[in-house]
Amino acid sequence: MALLRSLVTTFFDNAVTRDYVTNTVYHTVGQGLGGLDPVDAQNHANEIRDAFSGTGSPAFTMYTDRHVQVRVYDMADAEPRPEIAYAEKIVAGSHSGAPSELAVVLSYYTDRNIVGRRGRLFLGPLNGNQNVTWRVGDTLQQDAIHLGNLLFNIGGENVAHVLYHAKANHHGAAAGSSNVINHYWVGNSWGIVHSRGERVTSRVTANH
* pLDDT band of 67, cuts 50, 70, 90: very high
* Mean pLDDT lowest among 38-42, 137-141, 160-164, 194-198: 38-42
What HEC string does the chain produce? Answer: CEEEEEEEEEECCCCCHHHCEEEEEEEEECHHHCCCCHHHHHHHHHHHHHHHHCCCCCCCCCCCCCEEEEEEEECCCCCCCCEEEEEEECCCCCCCCCCCCEEEEEEEECCCCCCCCEEEEEECCCCCCCCCCCCCCHHHHHHHHHHHHHHHCCCCCCEEEEEECCCCCCCCCCCCCEEECCEEEECCCCEECHHHCCCCCCCCCCCC
CA distance 20 to 34: 34
29 and 1 in contact (C-beta within 8 Å)? Answer: yes
- Provide, rounded to the nearest whole percent, the portion of the chain with pLDDT above 70: 95
pLDDT at residue 40, rounded to an integer: 86
- Pairing label, strands 83-89, 102-109: unpaired
Whether 93 has a pLDDT exceeding 90, the answer reads no
* pLDDT band of 31, cuts 50, 70, 90: low
Which phi-psi region, left, alpha or beta, contains residue 141 (left: φ > 0; alpha: ψ -120 to 50)? alpha
> Mean of the pLDDT values across residues 59-64?
95
Whether 178 has a pLDDT exceeding 90, the answer reads yes
Whether 38 has a pLDDT exceeding 80, the answer reads no
Whether 32 has a pLDDT exceeding 70, the answer reads no
CA distance 174 to 167: 7
pLDDT at residue 39, rounded to an integer: 44
**186 burial level (CB within 10 Å; 0-12, 13-18, 19+):** buried
**Mean pLDDT across the chain:** 90
pTM of the model: 0.91
* pLDDT band of 34, cuts 50, 70, 90: very low
- Half-sphere CA count of 173, side-chain side, radius 13 A: 23
96 and 128 in contact (C-beta within 8 Å)? Answer: yes
Whether 116 has a pLDDT exceeding 90, the answer reads no
How many Cβ atoms are within 10 Å of 12's Cβ, its own excluded?
A: 19
Higher confidence at residue 138 or residue 38?
Answer: 138
* Mean pLDDT lowest among 47-61, 119-133, 150-164: 119-133
> Mean of the pLDDT values across residues 122-148?
91
Higher confidence at residue 95 or residue 122?
Answer: 122
pLDDT at residue 131, rounded to an integer: 75
